[in-house]
Structure 1
Amino acid sequence: MRDKKTSYIRLLHASPKAPAVDVYANGDNILADDLSYGEFTPYLPVMPGTYTIDIYPADNSDTPILTKELVLPEKTIATIAAIGELPELELFIVEDPKEPLQPNTSKIRFVHLSPDAPAVDVIEPNGSILFKDVSYKDITDYLSITPDTYTVEIAPTGTDNSVLFVPNIRLLPDAFYSLYAIGLVEGDPYLQLLIPLDGNSYIET
């Protein structure tokens, strides 16, 4: 049985061109082993408190590429993303808030983690704008939407110059999703959209 104060975190490697990494908390507690770009860990139960996070290249614990202190409140559900381009790596926290969800609906939001992309709009093929003028490191509010299969395009705000086309996004009922834009508009790895199920869909705190 979990402590009533338990929090839950997952890690996301969203730093373009960075190698696979190992992530440690408070010295020797490993949170992620050989986490590659674009990958998430499962949600991990952790106690609230202050943590020192060290990120190393996978299988090389000589010198961390990032050391950061992280304060985690109790009963939090969150994704902790490694973002930015080396050597300006940083940790970015995306909390999964508990909020009402009407039966047989889904909720989606957009998280802009592409370091060289301008502010963007997320658009449906019919021209309907789901999210508008979202800048790097912005997290939108959740939007209620009918469960279905969707196609979206991402374009610099105010233009129809699509930089990413994503078909066949299947949204199930009674669930929360985040659309994470990662990668680079100019260069490799190119811009892509990660669409995980958020922990607030099924984790009780």
Structure 2
Amino acid sequence: MGDLIYIQNDANSNINTEPNPQQSPQESEAPADTGDHDTPAGEESDYSDGNQSNILVPGQQDEWPVFDNPSSEEENENTWSSIITMFPKPIIPCYYCDSDQVGLVRFLNAAADYPAFYVFINDQIAVNGLDNGDMTQYGRVSAEELTITVTGENDYEYVKKQIQIPAKSAITIAIINTDSGLDLMVIEDILCNGGINTGCFRVCNLSITNRRINVMLNDGSVIFRNVNYKQVTNFQYTTTGYYMVSVSGSNFLSGNILLSSNIYIRGNVSYTLYVFNWSLTQNAIRILIVEDRRN
């Protein structure tokens, strides 16, 4: 991954490499709470602070923090997964803002067989060195139509797209493989209202080689059947506790497990399981579970 410069302390996020898929869920420990409690996302204080003057301009070194997903070189990549814990606190102050209405944006590189990307918002650098499987923290931007450009180190422009940023809402912009090259996909991020004993879990399939998958928790206690390429499922409520998450091809609900991972589901927390490729060959997939907490 390229050199990354952080503009705030990254104590608001944890990267937890998942246990070996052969490990029993009971043997895994729950991720530790950092103790950092922020204003819940969705309240106005998360989206504006009255200071709209700090615009990131070309040449500045301030960039959004990127949380990469470490894996051992000895580890078989098609069994690799990780969990990122994201707190709702966005980057302060508000960059790329020229209006009173702002929204939250983060970026995910779900594209295989490309070098690390540079991401620009309205021709201003936002992210440097976004590698496969990397996700940024949220940044605050104007709630309007913005131009998102993804380039390589040689300034080659892979994709340029106009994206409408919703006001007082949070989205993930994923860089994905398509049959005709790269594209940007907008994923709406919704916080869970499950209560203290219930979390919310959904699946987003961004794998171009495995265009229909099944995802199961604990061998079928929760099932997402036939999740198509570029589909984002609805959330399912899930009781807190340890789970084994398994991804399989859609033709084999109980067999042909492509990848498994342990997870501890917390109450009133939203989980999105992203499936995407690490190589453009059949079954060469990774999963990234993003844990979005209210506080």
Same fold flag (TM > 0.5):
yes
Paired amino acid for 2:294: Y
Distance 1:158 1:189, change over 3 A: closer
The alpha carbon displacement at 1:148 in A equals 1.5
Distance 1:15 1:111, change over 3 A: same
Distance 1:125 1:186, change over 3 A: farther
Distance 1:69 1:196, change over 3 A: same
What secondary structure sits across from 1:150 in the alignment? strand
Give the equivalent residue in structure 2 for 1:166: 260
Cα deviation 1:5-56 (Å, max 9, x = unaligned): 32111100001111100000111x2221111110001111111011111111
Moved over 6 A (4+): none
The alpha carbon displacement at 1:177 in A equals 0.8
Paired amino acid for 2:233: T
Cα deviation 1:115-170 (Å, max 9, x = unaligned): 11031111234344521111000000111111212112222224234242323212
Gap regions ≥5 residues in structure 2: 1-44, 50-99
Give the equivalent residue in structure 2 for 1:60: 154
Give the equivalent residue in structure 1 for 2:85: none
Paired amino acid for 1:55: V
Counterpart CA distance in 2 for 1:6 and 1:99 is 22
Distance 1:189 1:44, change over 3 A: farther
**TM-score when normalising by structure 1:** 0.86
Q: Structure 1 residues 144-153 or 187-196, which shifts more?
A: 187-196
The alpha carbon displacement at 1:181 in A equals 0.4
Give the equivalent residue in structure 1 for 2:219: 126
Matched, 1:9 2:92: no
**TM-score when normalising by structure 2:** 0.61
The within-5 A match list for 1:48-87 is: 48-57=143-152, 59-61=153-155, 63-85=156-178
The alpha carbon displacement at 1:98 in A equals 4.6
8 Å CA contact 1:106, 1:174 repeated in 2 = yes
Count of residues paired in the alignment: 198
What secondary structure sits across from 2:140 in the alignment? strand
8 Å CA contact 1:23, 1:56 repeated in 2 = yes
The within-5 A match list for 1:139-158 is: 139-158=232-251
Q: Structure 1 residues 138-147 or 92-101, which shifts more?
A: 92-101
Give the equivalent residue in structure 2 for 1:202: 294
Counterpart CA distance in 2 for 1:43 and 1:9 is 5
What secondary structure sits across from 2:136 in the alignment? coil
Gap regions ≥5 residues in structure 1: none
Percent identity over the alignment?
Answer: 27
Give the equivalent residue in structure 2 for 1:36: 131
Q: 1:20 aligns with which of 112, 116, 121?
A: 116
Counterpart CA distance in 2 for 1:43 and 1:156 is 32
8 Å CA contact 2:210, 2:282 repeated in 1 = no
Cα deviation 1:32-82 (Å, max 9, x = unaligned): 11111100011111110111111111x332x31111111112112011000
Paired amino acid for 2:154: N
Give the equivalent residue in structure 1 for 2:95: none
Paired amino acid for 1:20: A
Distance 1:38 1:164, change over 3 A: same
Q: 1:45 aligns with which of 103, 126, 140?
A: 140
Distance 1:89 1:189, change over 3 A: farther
8 Å CA contact 1:121, 1:129 repeated in 2 = no
Q: 2:285 aligns with which of 171, 191, 204?
A: 191
For the aligned residues, what is the CA RMSD? 2.3
- For the pair shown, the structure with the greater C-alpha radius of gyration is 2
Q: Structure 1 residues 94-103 or 35-44, which shifts more?
A: 94-103
8 Å CA contact 1:7, 1:46 repeated in 2 = yes
Counterpart CA distance in 1 for 2:134 and 2:282 is 17
